């Protein structure tokens, strides 16, 4: 299924954003009880354009496998944003995520992704591949703060769990799974999906995400608008001196 998805994504126009991931379906009033707490693969795609054209473009995606459910169709933007709220209920999960970019979803990388998807350390852990490329890669690496303009895919290992006693188990698994994929990647990270734990510095991954030149510009901006580094609890950009 992952290979079919990858091959379809290569044909997708710029108007398509899409991903494939594996997790466990949480119990919800919006899904039949017989499929609650079932491991499954989810694919998603958003087409920015005419709905009828979009339905034609994503039809091959809808034909992959034997879907438990297909909710394809026109959806308000807020509906797209809320589509995964059941998976990440506020205040119920502990989380540790790490992501990396790869130029292509090669068969060896897919083998790692599938193995990790089958052997997740907790039900709510998500193993996801996002299709990038297209218009994203037609912008220069130093034209904006966002540097990664060569990768066609971003792979995210999203550790989510409920019991604090599982912290070490899930965090170490996420780091190991991420490391196996990262060594095949471009070397850059997506900071929104890069958690910090166990005394990791708040600067972890910052230079690899932005690149030296972009980071220098951002540090100069930070020095102008936040010289005291008040906004420092994220993957931090320190102000230039």
My answer on whether 116 and 212 are in the same domain is no
The CATH number of the domain holding residue 141 is: 3.40.462.20
Q: Which residues pair with 159 in a beta bridge?
A: 96
Answer positive or negative: Cα dihedral of 206, 209, 210, 213: positive
The separation between CA 107 and the C-alpha centre of its own chain, rounded to angstroms, equals 19
My answer on whether 186 and 212 are in the same domain is no
* H or E element, residue 161: strand 153-161
My answer on whether 174 and 210 are in the same domain is no
In this prediction, residues 39-46 reach a mean pLDDT of 92
My answer on whether 84 and 194 are in the same domain is yes
Q: 193-205, pLDDT tens digit by residue? A: 888 787 778 888 8
The pLDDT of residue 237 is 92
| Six token digits for residue 17 | 């954003």
My answer on whether 221 and 144 are in the same domain is no
In this prediction, residues 90-96 reach a mean pLDDT of 90
- State how many domains the chain has: 2
Answer positive or negative: Cα dihedral of 22, 28, 31, 33: positive
pTM of the model: 0.90
My answer on whether 120 and 224 are in the same domain is no
pLDDT band at 106 (very low <50, low <70, confident <90, very high): very high
Could you list the residue range(s) of the whole structural domain that residue 107 is in? 2-200
My answer on whether 231 and 115 are in the same domain is no
My answer on whether 184 and 226 are in the same domain is no
My answer on whether 56 and 165 are in the same domain is yes
Q: Are 72 and 55 in contact (CB under 8 A)?
A: yes
The pLDDT of residue 65 is 83
My answer on whether 6 and 51 are in the same domain is yes
In this prediction, residues 82-100 reach a mean pLDDT of 89
Q: Cα–Cα distance between 158 and 171 in angstroms, integer? A: 10
Q: 125-184, pLDDT tens digit by residue? A: 999 999 999 999 999 999 999 999 999 999 999 999 999 999 999 999 999 999 999 999
Cα–Cα separations (whole angstroms), residue 49 to 46, 52, 55, 57, 98: 9, 9, 10, 11, 32
My answer on whether 103 and 65 are in the same domain is yes
The pLDDT of residue 130 is 96
My answer on whether 166 and 208 are in the same domain is no
């Amino acid at each position: 299924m992952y290979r079919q998805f990858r091959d379809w994504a290569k044909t997708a126009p710029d108007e398509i954003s899409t991903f494939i991931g594996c997790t466990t379906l949480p119990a919800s009033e919006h899904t039949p009880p017989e499929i609650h707490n079932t491991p499954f693969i989810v694919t998603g795609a958003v087409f920015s354009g005419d709905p009828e054209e979009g339905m034609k473009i994503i039809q091959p995606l809808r034909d992959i496998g034997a879907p438990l459910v297909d909710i394809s169709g026109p959806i308000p933007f807020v509906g797209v944003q809320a589509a995964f709220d059941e998976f990440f209920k506020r205040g119920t999960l502990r989380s540790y995520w790490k992501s990396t970019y790869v130029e292509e979803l090669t068969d060896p990388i897919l083998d790692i992704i599938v193995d990790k998807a089958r052997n997740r350390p907790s039900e709510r852990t998500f193993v996801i591949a996002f299709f990038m490329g297209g218009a994203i890669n037609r912008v220069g690496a130093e034209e904006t703060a966002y540097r990664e303009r060569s990768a066609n895919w971003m792979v995210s290992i999203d550790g989510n769990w409920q019991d604090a006693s599982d912290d070490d188990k899930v965090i170490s698994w996420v780091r190991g799974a991420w490391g196996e994929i990262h060594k095949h990647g471009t070397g850059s990270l997506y900071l929104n999906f890069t958690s910090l734990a166990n005394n990791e510095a708040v600067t972890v991954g910052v230079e690899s995400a932005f690149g030296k030149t972009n980071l220098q510009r951002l540090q100069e901006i930070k020095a102008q608008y936040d010289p005291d580094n008040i906004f420092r609890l994220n993957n931090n950009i320190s102000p230039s001196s």
